Amino acid sequence: MVAAVERGLRMRGLRWFLRLLARLFFRSVEVVGSENVPREGGGLLVAWHPNGLADGILLLGFCPRSVTFGARHGLFRLPIVGWLLRGAGAVPLYRRRDRGEAGARMSDEERRAANHRSLGALAGAARQSFVAIFPEGATHDEPQLLELRAGAARLFQLAREGGGDPLLVPVGLHYERKHAFRSRALLAFYPPVELPENPRPETFVDRLTGLIQEHLIEVTHPTESWELHRAMEQVRSLVRAEQAAREGVSRLRRAPMQERDAGFARVWAGYRKQRAIDPGVVDRLVARVTRYGEALRLLGLSDRDLDGAPLGRTVWRVMLLCVEALLMLLLLPTVVLIGNLVNLPAALLVALGARKLSVTRKEQAGLKMFLGLIILPMAWMAASLAVGLAWTEPLPGFDWRPEALWVRVAGMLALCVLSALLGLRYHRFIAEVGHGLRALWVGGFRRGAVKRLRRQRSLLYDEVIGLVAVLDV
């Protein structure tokens, strides 16, 4: 009983920590469909794996139920990551292709025996709570699913054979720009999969693997290439912007991630239906959408910017942003100075370290989170200790100096943390100023280009809506 309470408290603390970590890295994390994860019983959460450690952080931190992971054994040896995995009760998996890693020098028989014990532990967890598993078996940077492995289906079968009644819940993981700092993420839980009735044991694993693939395709909307993915996203964006313009919406805000996901799903469904009927028409439309999107990017604009605020209002907005920056410099000069001297070099070191340590870009988001967790506090503590030891005389204009070293160190540490939090706010502020200046330049000197793009958007909208009406998407 006491052990269960302690584990519950540890898990709640870990979940709180992971949520904080995710919200510091992502500008927003939207969670939808939590009601599809039942409050009692157990099962499997199956998801694709597009963003390395970030996928696990979101699932573990934001799932409404406690989650157990099966993780590659080599991850348990990494600093911070291993501590988090052990704290979350993760179970090590020994894959054949990982035999060259340190700590995996075991024979095939030893590996199979270790994995048998691990699968038994995961199956037991799936009968009481939820086990998260990525059936692709590896993280990747592709816009489509990798070939699914049978491990998820075998684990589900093992959980059922032990007398459990587990559920199979598909999960959608979507990122606005998955490698970028202060981007957005969506975690969507879908209704449990309806399993085939009375399946034959010898074919159950293959049938269930195929069923998992069908549902993951449905919830992730994988495309054939990144070029096609961007074209579908461009169609979704231009339709939303043109519809708002025709309805007289004065200022269209960025779409929530759930709305983006639903819009992309409709566009992708329409593309597949029409391409089966007349691929030539679809290919020509996609080519025109691609050229339209490239023209927008050359001007540094989005679809929403074509119907932006009048020039005078944009000038006023940029002026207000500049006044806000000036007030910060005048009222909080110490915080600004500390932010530049301490946090900026540390942030650059985090970005450089993530780029150097990651084998592929898919690993950068998770590495940035964990490196930031290590490097930023170390930089704060080093700066605080240095200031505390060097602060031997009262500051100019002040006759008082804290006598206790710990007071000086704690004060400096508080300033470091405050400057980091303000830095998150002004990361967005700088982007807004840059966007406003681009809008001024385009609105003042490239009005003809904006009008042409607006006409193109209108024509593309009419064509897309015509196809939607015919296809009943």
- Angle subtended at Cα 268 by Cα 141 and Cα 37, rounded to the nearest 5 degrees: 70
CATH number of the domain that 165 lies in? 3.40.1130.10
User: Are 142 and 267 in a shared domain?
Assistant: no
Of 285, 308, 331, which marks where a domain is finished? 308
Q: Is residue 453 part of a domain?
A: no
Q: Is residue 471 part of a domain?
A: no
User: Are 302 and 315 in a shared domain?
Assistant: no
Amino acid residing at 292: Y
User: Are 246 and 131 in a shared domain?
Assistant: no
Of 252, 279, 308, which marks where a domain is finished? 308
User: Are 174 and 233 in a shared domain?
Assistant: no
User: Are 214 and 360 in a shared domain?
Assistant: no
**Domain enclosing residue 49, as ranges:** 2-220
CA 27 to chain centre: 10
User: Are 362 and 413 in a shared domain?
Assistant: yes
Q: Please give the pLDDT value at position 47.
A: 96
Helix (H) or strand (E) holding 415: helix 405-445
Q: Is residue 458 part of a domain?
A: no
Q: Which residues of the chain have pLDDT under 50?
A: 99, 102-103, 310-311
Q: Is residue 460 part of a domain?
A: no
Q: Is residue 462 part of a domain?
A: no
Q: Is residue 347 part of a domain?
A: yes
User: Are 255 and 374 in a shared domain?
Assistant: no
The helix-helix angle for 405-445 and 364-390 (nearest 10°) equals 130
User: Are 331 and 261 in a shared domain?
Assistant: no
Q: Is residue 296 part of a domain?
A: yes
Contact by Cβ (8 Å): 74, 104: yes
Residue 119 CA: distances (Å) to CA of 6, 158, 207, 470: 24, 8, 20, 49
Of 278, 308, 338, which marks where a domain is finished? 308
User: Are 215 and 244 in a shared domain?
Assistant: no
Q: Please give the pLDDT value at position 4.
A: 57
User: Are 109 and 148 in a shared domain?
Assistant: yes
Q: Is residue 19 part of a domain?
A: yes
Q: Please give the pLDDT value at position 5.
A: 57
User: Are 142 and 211 in a shared domain?
Assistant: yes
Per the structure, the count of domains in the chain is: 3
pLDDT per position as a tens digit, 80-139:
677 777 877 788 887 665 545 544 566 777 777 887 788 888 888 888 899 999 999 888
User: Are 209 and 255 in a shared domain?
Assistant: no
Q: Please give the pLDDT value at position 411.
A: 83
Which among 315, 373, 385, 326 has a CA at the least distance from the CA of 349?
373
Q: Is 93 left (phi over 0), alpha (psi -120 to 50) or beta?
A: beta
The CB density around residue 79, as the number of other CB atoms within 10 Å, is 9
Q: Determine the straight-line distance between the first and last CA of the chain, rounded to whole angstroms.
A: 54
pLDDT per position as a tens digit, 274-297:
888 889 989 999 999 999 999 888
